[in-house]
Chains A and B, each alone.
Chain A
Amino acid sequence: MLKIHLPENVFETLKQYFSFDFVWFALVVAILVSLCSALLGVSLVLKRYSMIGDGLSHVAFGAGAVAAVLGITDNMLIVLPITVIVAIILLKTSAEGKIKGDAAIAMLSVGALSVGYLLLNITETSSSNLSGDVCTSLFGSTTILSLDTGDVISCIILSLIVIAVFFIFYNKIFSVTFDERFSKATGTKTQLYNLLVAVITAVVIVIGMKLVGALLVSALIIFPALSAMRVFKSFRGVIFGAAVTSMVCAGLGVISAVLLGTPVGASIVVINIVALAIFSLIGKIKSK
């Protein structure tokens, strides 16, 4: 049976909810995170690195479990460095071809997931609701997010850094994404830009995890890029298309969470799927 139902007076309810700070916080964080992930996602999808996002989010879950076991309240301090280091290792090993990229990522992601779950189970943490906690960190919070001001500020700062880095190095990132051999041979320090992309991917995933949860965060990276690639033919167009689509989907997801009480992470992902379907249709019609 369906549990959800639309409130009778939609606008009144919205107005009521948006008088609370935490709803605004959730909306701002959702839009910023989805903007960052869409920008990065285009490059990752085109380089065939889509699964890196998935792998890294599982690593971040494992790192979060370690932080919880150690009793560290601000788990960003542990999760962020570990995820960044793993991202760098992943890109390095797949570039050198020692372990095939997809196998390395699959190995790491299931490994981190099980280690994290095991650690949470065998240690005594303060929480009495273990399965609830695990579910929240995997799929995001069940209703609207309750973020404190510190979370919101750190999220905004990190997002602005990611966006600034992306725009300053846009042309370099394009060149390295399109043809790494050419870029390296003509004097671009490709290692450096791969490192940069790895680090900001890790940052985006860690901040995105709070929003949609570890299992769903790679959707934020992959879907907007795929949708935009169906319709736009220039790289710039795809970047802008992905950014706008992603922000709109995130905004709608938060509103749906407010109105219908659906889990915010899953709502955003489902709206992204709908957007992909619509874009595919437009692409089909355009190419006819």
Chain B
Amino acid sequence: MSIFKNKALPEVKVNGKTKKKLPPATSWGHYRRLNRPYSTDGQPRDRRLLVEIKNLSLAYEGRTVISDLSFEIHSGDYICIIGENGSGKTTLMNALLGLKAPSSGEIVFHDLKRHQIGVLPQKTPVQNDFPALVSEIVLSGCVGKKTGPAFYNKGDKRRAFENMEKLGITSIAKQSFRALSGGQQQRVLLARALCAAEKLIVLDEPAASLDPKACSDMYSLIHDINMRENMTVIMVSHDIKGALEHATHVLQINKNSIQLSKKEDYVAAHECPVCAEKPRTEPAAYGNSDAYKYKGGEPDA
């Protein structure tokens, strides 16, 4: 477990300010991820069909909440699922994750396996007093890829370390999960999701119970991962404003209609000034964006 030891990061001077510099890449895959160029025109470089949803109908306790829904998910998409309470957002997400069987229709995985999906679920009551270290929890994200006896190898530990580094939680790797603040816990769970995610990450209300600062940090982190790693993001959210800022597509679920539209079209149709103002931008490089300056030990306030 030596990989989790807190390393003092080297400091560099940029424009007269000292900044912490990330350590060099720990593997070839890590190097490629760190040095990957962006596509800034909004079109991902590699757009492959991941999931096809065909005529999907879902029922929740005998009541049909979603009927005859068809759409496709491609790699690099950032889809935001929005809708009122009880409109079937979470049911749709559960169906995508294989936690709920569709009442009719099907969900076909094309270039995707179940163990390549990462999930950031809502926190459960069990987790509030669960005795576990941050590093143990982040590592457990790798467990879905193992069949049969599950022992972690060096690659898994490196993956966990990289993801903790991305989220700025290496300094709390040896702290107990239950003693952390809400924002820190959410980061830990996101790091675990990133360990599992190779192609698709599904986020259930990632900003719930976070204060505004932690909330915007969370969104820019997700945006960064989406842009840099061509990671497909599906986010269920109440917070339309925050969620739309970075999305490429919007799936709006209402009582009677479901509509998937490109974000630009959605914004134009709904005349949402906040979202229109901010175009999809390139995030700052690793280690420079505000989100990465977040230091573990301090409270969220």
| A positions within 8 Å CB-CB of B | 46-48, 168-172, 174-175, 177-179, 181-188, 229, 232-238
- Whether B124 pairs with A179 at a CB distance below 8 angstroms is yes
Contacts A185-B119, A185-B202 supplied; 10 other A-B pairs, CB < 8 Å: A169-B149, A175-B140, A175-B144, A179-B121, A182-B121, A185-B114, A186-B117, A186-B144, A233-B175, A235-B132
Task: State in angstroms the CA–CA spacing of A178 and B124 once bound together.
Answer: 9
Partner of A235 from the list B114, B131, B202 (CB cut-off 8 Å) is: B131
Q: Which of B165-186 contact A (CB under 8 A)?
A: 175-176, 178-179
CA distance A127 to B279 in the complex (A): 85
Q: With a CB–CB cut-off of 8 A, which chain B residues contact A46?
A: 126, 130-131
What A residues does B53 contact at CB under 8 A? Answer: none
The listed residue (B99, B131, B151, B176) touching A185 by CB distance below 8 A is: B99
Q: Is the CB–CB distance between A234 and B176 below 8 Å?
A: yes
Q: Is there an interface contact between A47 and B126, defined as CB atoms closer than 8 Å? A: yes
Give the Cβ gap from B196 to chain A, nearest Cβ, in Å: 4
A185 contacts B127, CB within 8 Å? no
| Chain B interface category by residue count | 35 or more
C-beta contact mask, B181-195 vs A, less than 8 Å → 1, else 0? 000000000001100
- Decide if B44 is an interface residue (CB 8 Å cutoff): no
Whole-angstrom CA separation of A235 from B118 in the bound complex = 22
Residues of A within 8 A of B131 (CB): 46, 229, 232-235, 237-238
Q: Which residue of A lies closest to B98 (CB)?
A: A185
Interface of A (DSSP majority class): helix
Pair A186/B127 contact, Cβ less than 8 Å: no
A169 and B98 CA atoms in complex are apart in Å by 23
Q: Is B101 an interface residue (CB 8 A)?
A: no
Closest-by-CB residue of A relative to B196 is A186
Contact B130 A186 (CB under 8 A): no
B195 (CB) vs chain A CBs: closest residue: A186
Residues of chain A contacted by B146 (CB below 8 angstroms): 171-172
Contacts of A233 in B (CB 8 A): 131, 133, 175-176, 178-179
Q: Cα distance A41–B192 when bound, in Å?
A: 25
Give CA–CA (A172, B145) in the complex, Å: 11
Candidates A171, A174, A175; contact of B151 at CB < 8 Å:
A171
Judged by a CB distance under 8 angstroms, whether B150 is at the interface is yes
Q: Within the complex, what minimum Cβ distance (angstroms) separates A252 from chain B? A: 25
16 A-B pairs, CB-CB below 8 angstroms?
A46-B126, A168-B149, A171-B140, A171-B151, A172-B143, A174-B140, A179-B124, A179-B126, A181-B121, A182-B192, A184-B99, A186-B117, A186-B143, A234-B133, A235-B136, A236-B136
Q: Is B113 an interface residue (CB 8 A)?
A: yes
Q: A187's contact among B114, B179, B202, by CB below 8 Å, is which? A: B114
For residue B115, CB closer than 8 A to chain A, the reply is: yes
B4 to chain A, nearest CB (A): 12
